[in-house]
Structure 1
Amino acid sequence: MGFMDRLLRRTSRLDEASGEATQRTTPVQAISSQTGEGEGLPDRWYAPQDGSRDRFVGADGLPTLRLIPYRDMGGEYVLRLCEDDTGLLVGPTDRRLPRAGIYISQLRGEAHHQAECRAGNFHPGDPVRLVREPENPYDPNAVAVYDATGQYMAAYVNKQKARTLARLIDSGTEVEAISIRGTRPGVGCDQVAVLAASPDVLRHLLSQRPAGAPRPAHER
């Protein structure tokens, strides 16, 4: 069982065992928010746009972030970035993430691949394959996303992120990816989102948060 699976199971047990824990992870009521990526989440939960382009880059060159399990407003468990020293969340469209070597994309076209989405494993935290399609007639920068077996295609990286990822992949840069939103095989899958990064960065993001780090903002 992977680290993120253990975290998700631990969070589920907290929900069952404690009313307080359930309150912390229950989807919040809609609150107007810009920082919350249009999800209606409180701004105070998110790292502010403070003008620091390298806010998420540590002295060692690795991100000052980790991935944590998070239950969205629809009750679905996903993975979300959390800042080490503040516990603040970081939205998937934060423009500072590429500076830290992190590329997140909500996929496009899942509706055309429903059977494959259901058959493949796109569970949060599990690896996925990025496959370039330079001959794609609709987009020469197209990047398709398959499950780890390479058999089942979920959809395509959105065009804006595909340009960046295509350039990295075509240059020979090693890029790995995981699902941060999706489902296990046999479960209907309406939305898939992926996070791509170098192997070192991805391994770092999946590691446990530092000892003594503040609790994630949405759990306080």
Structure 2
Amino acid sequence: MGATQEFTSGYGRGLTVAAAAAGAAALVAVAAQDGAVAALRVLPLVALVVLVVWALFWRPGVEVADGEVVVRNVLSTVHVPWPTYRGVTRGWSLVLHTTDGDVQVFAAPRSSATAQWVRRGRDDDGVRPVPADGRPVRSLHATAESVGDAVEARHDALVRAGHLDGAERLRTEHGLRPVRRVHVAGIATAVALAAAAVAVLVTA
């Protein structure tokens, strides 16, 4: 009934690109100064730094769709089907309340005091539109307010359209619950790079 909304941080993406560029520049400088072998020895540490910055600032995000809300945090991704959704709280960061407990949204911190004042001063009827069905709608301004508004608007639209009628029964009958998937590959890669970096430092 509506397009998927994807929220990420423009600042975080810019920071990740800058870190990758700085890492590449450092490798080139080491290679020019001390040779390719020295650059290869530095590579694990540079790759680890870029990976950590990517995991902290690029990867986190939120997808709001007709079927579920997907929360990508640093160490895991949580899929929240609408029948398990119970509301949101806008604190220091956004919190999704579900039938299995709270889900912290790392990608949606509270906006500045000025932005909150502007938001409170808007003259609207409290009904926020849901983007028409089609290609995903992407935003680089993920805040507790913007993401919370999108989640509430999508939930309200689904309720008004009758798509969540009998949601509690469906949740019980089908055992629906939020699903958390740990980023095993990313964590394992970070551990391997850290071990390689330590080995290089020890043998230097």
Q: If the TM-score is normalised by the length of the shorter chain, which range does it land in?
A: under 0.3
TM-score when scaled to structure 1? 0.23
**Larger Cα Rg: Structure 1 or Structure 2?**
2
Higher RCO structure, 1 or 2 (CA under 8 Å, sep 6+): 2
TM-score w.r.t. the length of structure 2 is 0.24
